[in-house]
Amino acid sequence: MFIGLYSCEFKNDRQEYAEMLIAKVETFKKTNNRLPKNVSELGLTEKMDSPAFYQMETNTTYIVWYGLSVGESKIYKSSTKKWTKEG
């Protein structure tokens, strides 16, 4: 049971970070009339073990994602403004 609780907290932390990342991207977009090229333009540092990741897909769309388990990710697509599970 402890492992299950830890796993849920871990996912919640990643989800919260991802939502913060989306909010920062949207604020940047409104202020600068463009998407950030990477998270450093948001004042963040992306590392291999970051809780979530940002990727600009086109000049107007982006994705934010984080891992749920090996081979499974939760992905936010700005084009649909929805989360999906993939993998």
pLDDT tens digits, one per residue of 53-86: 999 999 999 999 999 988 999 999 999 999 999 9
Element (H, E) at 78: none
In this prediction, residue 26 carries a pLDDT of 98
Q: In the chain, what are the domain boundaries?
A: 2-86
17: pLDDT strictly greater than 90: yes
Sequential DSSP letters for 19-35: HHHHHHHHHHHHHHSS-
Helices (H), 1-85: 2-32
Spatial strand order in the sheet of 62-69: 53-56, 62-69, 72-77, 82-86
With pLDDT > 70 as the criterion, what percentage of the chain qualifies?
87
For 25-34, what is the mean pLDDT? 98
